[in-house]
């Protein structure tokens, strides 16, 4: 008989109240449908549509509310900014679902979560002006997170990865860490995006300024990055937007067996050099759409 893997206290840290280390959520408080948002303040906005609430937990930048929306049990969690936080959130959500906190062993059958990130992004094409809802069919990670996991090559679209690096002409420091290209769950994309969202390739960056080709006072290593990103084409698809979390969400979900995609509202169009800072009400429209479709 195969022995089960045991996860010692140093690897899976469980708080005294039985909750997982960073999120402070207990296993029974997690729903199968999970909405991820960057901004902790956006959690209350999502939960303001819930019919019932069963828990409301705040820990660092991770704010979690579980409740119901039209009979569906949903957990909404804030991740803060960046793929480093996604590593924490995805691993801890998966542990809550798939590790027995009593025995510290993996459960016998996989509990598959459905994860939809609702975020904001920068639009990279003339057809993605401020206010556009973009659903990520593919995410390209400039953040390097997935490179630390076995199976990274098995889940990455390697031809797409190579085509992008050739197109950018990046060598040395600029392609370190190596970008990875991961697909969102197809069924979830169809259900969430339907016919009324722009579908595209999202680049998730390890920063908001230089990594997204924004130059303030520090000159960029590749001043032509965004022109090249905008003109890249692969099998008829273009890069539509920049944000900072979708690659790690899609990549870790593929490795863990969960369904995931990201939908973002464009708040700055980089081609037109326009930004919308009054987007807080508009994102509520995107939240309602996702709550209906998740």
Matching residue, tokens 């956006």: 42
- Kindly state whether residue 120 participates in binding ligand R1P, applying the rule CB under 6 A: yes
Stretch that binds ligand R1P, among 2-10, 48-56, 139-147, 239-247 (CB under 6 A): 239-247
Q: Which residue is nearest to ligand URA (CB)?
A: 122
- Kindly state whether residue 119 participates in binding ligand R1P, applying the rule CB under 6 A: yes
Smaller CB separation from ligand R1P, 208 or 234: 208
Contacts of 184 (CB under 8 A, 6+ apart): 135, 136, 137, 138, 139, 246, 250, 260, 261, 262
Quote the least distance from Cβ 112 to ligand URA, whole Å.
Answer: 28
- Kindly state whether residue 120 participates in binding ligand URA, applying the rule CB under 6 A: yes
C-alpha atoms less than 13 angstroms from C-alpha of 19 in its C-beta half-sphere: 14
> CA-to-CA distance for 91 and 180, rounded, in angstroms?
19
- Kindly state whether residue 122 participates in binding ligand R1P, applying the rule CB under 6 A: no
Number of amino acids touching ligand R1P (CB under 6 A): 10
- Kindly state whether residue 279 participates in binding ligand URA, applying the rule CB under 6 A: no
Quote the least distance from Cβ 24 to ligand URA, whole Å.
Answer: 27
Contacts of 220 (CB under 8 A, 6+ apart): 210, 213
Q: Other CB atoms closer than 10 Å to residue 193's CB: what's the count?
A: 22
Quote the least distance from Cβ 228 to ligand URA, whole Å.
Answer: 17
Can you tell me which of 25, 244, 248, 263 binds ligand R1P, judged by CB under 6 A?
Answer: 244
Site string for ligand R1P, 30-49 (x = CB under 6 A): -------xxx----------
Can you tell me which of 29, 66, 136, 212 binds ligand URA, judged by CB under 6 A?
Answer: 212
Beta pairing, strands 198-204 & 133-141: parallel
Q: Which two tokens stand for residue 171?
A: 């060598």
Whole-angstrom CA distances from 201 to 198, 229, 233, 247 are 10, 11, 10, 10
Matching residue, tokens 């209906």: 292
Smaller CB separation from ligand R1P, 119 or 213: 119
Contacts of 79 (CB under 8 A, 6+ apart): 36, 37, 38, 61, 62, 85, 86, 89, 117, 245
Measured between alpha carbons, how far apart are the two ends of the chain, in Å?
Answer: 39
64 touches which of ligand URA, ligand R1P, none (CB within 5 to 8 A by kind)?
none
Site string for ligand R1P, 162-191 (x = CB under 6 A): ------------------------------
Matching residue, tokens 């059958």: 109
212 touches which of ligand R1P, ligand URA, none (CB within 5 to 8 A by kind)?
ligand URA
Can you tell me which of 87, 137, 161, 245 binds ligand R1P, judged by CB under 6 A?
Answer: 245
- Kindly state whether residue 122 participates in binding ligand URA, applying the rule CB under 6 A: yes
How big, in percent rounded to 5, are the helix, strand and coil portions of the chain?
Answer: 30, 30, 40
Provide the H-helix boundaries in the chain.
40-47, 83-98, 152-155, 158-168, 186-193, 225-231, 246-256, 283-293
In the complex, the residues that contact ligand URA under the rule CB under 6 A are: 120-122, 208, 212, 242-244, 267-268
In the complex, the residues that contact ligand R1P under the rule CB under 6 A are: 37-39, 81, 119-120, 208, 243-245
């Amino acid at each position: 008989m195969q022995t089960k893997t045991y996860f010692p206290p140093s690897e899976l840290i469980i708080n005294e109240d039985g909750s997982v280390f960073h999120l402070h959520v207990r296993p029974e408080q997690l729903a199968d449908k999970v909405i991820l948002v960057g901004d902790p303040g956006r959690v209350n906005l999502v939960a303001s549509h819930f019919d019932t609430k069963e828990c409301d937990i705040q820990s660092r930048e991770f704010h979690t509310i579980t409740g119901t929306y039209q009979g569906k049990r949903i957990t909404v969690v804030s991740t803060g900014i960046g793929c480093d936080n996604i590593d924490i959130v995805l691993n801890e959500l998966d542990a809550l679902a798939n590790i027995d906190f009593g025995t510290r062993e993996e459960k016998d059958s996989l509990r598959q979560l459905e994860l939809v990130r609702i975020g904001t992004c920068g639009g990279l094409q003339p057809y993605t002006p401020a206010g556009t809802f973009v659903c990520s069919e593919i995410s390209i990670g400039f953040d390097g997170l997935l490179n630390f996991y076995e199976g990274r090559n098995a889940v990455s679209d390697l031809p797409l990865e190579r085509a992008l690096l050739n197109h950018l002409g990046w060598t040395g420091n600029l392609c370190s860490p190596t970008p990875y290209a991961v697909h969102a769950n197809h069924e979830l994309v169809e259900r969430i995006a339907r016919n009324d969202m722009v579908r595209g390739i999202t680049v998730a960056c390890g920063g908001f300024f230089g990594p997204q080709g924004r130059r303030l006072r520090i000159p960029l290593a590749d001043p032509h990055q965004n022109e090249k990103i905008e003109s890249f084409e692969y099998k008829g698809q273009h890069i539509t937007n920049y944000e900072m979390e979708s690659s790690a969400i899609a990549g870790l979900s593929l490795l863990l067996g969960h369904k995931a995609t990201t939908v973002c509202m464009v708040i700055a169009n980089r081609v037109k050099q326009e930004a919308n800072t009054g987007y807080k009400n508009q994102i509520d429209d995107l939240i309602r759409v996702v709550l209906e479709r998740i």
